[in-house]
Structure 1
């Protein structure tokens, strides 16, 4: 990988890590579900008019849009609003690699290797340590919401794998059009029209800046740059850089939000990142008699290291 490409990969990981701190700031301006809806609206418009027509069936765009956009990001934003720290959120979400591997084994017949299975156990141990740390200092319910978001993320990875989009950026921009109305409806039902209107009327430069960052910098630039790198380098070369996301996430949260990083959290980080690395960077074996889905590997959503769902060639 050229030095310029290496720097771009690190920049994308940094953007995706800092994104959690920006989300935390944005939650001070908007109710969580409204914030998530505005994020997807800004990411979809006007980009949807620039990327061309969808290149996969609408059923896949709708499925991924609902699972990734509504379930995953809805849970992340609500969980962080309920007290889940930004840095810890960036770390815990990496457990999606384990959920992806488990769902892929059940749906695609891709059995994890022994090394992958060991990596899952190590990552789950990291989640246990993180839960113990968060349970002692914060709301456990918010922690479980982010774990649930990671599970939804894993399912969306497998759905994306089945969809096999030939153009990752085109696919994700169209996916961003799906969650807007469901999230707005959920916000009106649960957060209330009064809270939503108050947030929109009180919109200032900082609140608008958070929307621009999470929509255009994290989503449009992040996916565009990541897809550009994947077109020029093997996934096994690019994917490890996503393991830097929680490093930037925890560091930026400590620097800008004053979040403490306890010894238990460092231990959880070491276990999670190490376990995800083993789960992600080793191949899966095909279960005899099962038909493997065709096409490209899953598209990571803001820095997820996804398992190698196809065997090495």
Structure 2
């Protein structure tokens, strides 16, 4: 029971994470906010957690795909108008990008349920995109926000494959040590991007006039969503079969959509809701497989 509650707590933390990003971006530009997040992930934890026994090139690749590219695209997407709830759902395209990249880059084979799941979810994404881009009034989602979120999902998929290569070559690696020791890698690129795209004045002004709410958002992203979330999730994956733990991530976009509706007043149109259901159905088929027909006994 304790482990189930911990797993559900992590799912809630990760779902609310998207709303917290939205709040944090009100006080900091996206690259600076992301840089502060990973700076707090690294410090002071890096002084107490041993470095993972993997080559630096893999640590660098993991940090640049899973941490830098993914969150650079995601934070900018939300900044330019991507709703937090929809971002939590569209980002789950990483599941299908991971499958397809696994075929192209690693020669993996897909099963029938994978093809069906990809087809259903792709249809859902098209419905969702059509409904979101042409939503009447001020609720329309900018195309840039949608494309940037998909780019974040693609980057996450690259990070998943990197993580898979690391796990295959170094099976004893600890997920928390990997997260902590890869955290400093994106900090400098994030700060450099903020200095370049936002300008020195904006960066210095943001750092010198940080409000309490912004620091709370950064702390949540660093300590709750990253350090606590990944350490608990890694522990659960180590104690239980993957099929028992991994499907719970299907609840993350549901929590994200609900939290965005509750805290940000983000409501889905009927067409968006239908597209979201198709995406979730595709994810479920991918995870659980197709329903099997039971043989009917003939008397």
* Fold shared per TM-score above 0.5: yes
Name the residue aligned to 2:215.
208
In the TM superposition, what is the alpha-carbon distance from 1:277 to its structure 2 partner? 2.3
Which of these residues, 134, 138, 143, is aligned with residue 140 of structure 1? 143
| Unaligned residue ranges in structure 1 (runs of 5+) | 284-313
- Counting only pairs closer than 5 Å after superposition, residues 1-313 of structure 1 correspond to structure 2 as 3-136=1-134, 137-164=140-167, 166-281=173-288
Distance 1:198 1:101 in 2: 43
Distance 1:263 1:9 in 2: 31
Distance 1:33 1:282 in 2: 39
Stretches (4+) displaced over 3 A: 280-283
| Unaligned residue ranges in structure 2 (runs of 5+) | 135-139, 291-299
- Which has a greater percent of helix? 2
Equivalent position SS for 1:110: coil
| Bigger Cα Rg | 2
Equivalent position SS for 1:89: helix
Does the aligned pair in 2 maintain the 1:116–1:279 contact within 8 Å? yes
Distance 1:35 1:116 in 2: 36
Distance 1:151 1:282 in 2: 23
- Deviations 1:230-281 (Å, cap 9, x if unpaired)? 1111010001111100111011111111111221222122111121222234
- Deviations 1:99-131 (Å, cap 9, x if unpaired)? 000011112211110111110111111111121
Does the aligned pair in 2 maintain the 1:82–1:139 contact within 8 Å? yes
Distance 2:250 2:160 in 1: 17
Distance 1:214 1:53 in 2: 22
Equivalent position SS for 1:111: coil
Does the aligned pair in 1 maintain the 2:14–2:252 contact within 8 Å? yes
Equivalent position SS for 2:183: helix
In the TM superposition, what is the alpha-carbon distance from 1:55 to its structure 2 partner? 2.1
Equivalent position SS for 1:40: helix
Distance 1:130 1:175 in 2: 34
Distance 1:47 1:263 in 2: 45
Q: Kindly report the root-mean-square deviation, in angstroms, between the aligned alpha carbons of the 2 structures.
A: 1.3
Distance 2:239 2:270 in 1: 39
Q: When the two structures are aligned, how many residues end up with a matched partner?
A: 281
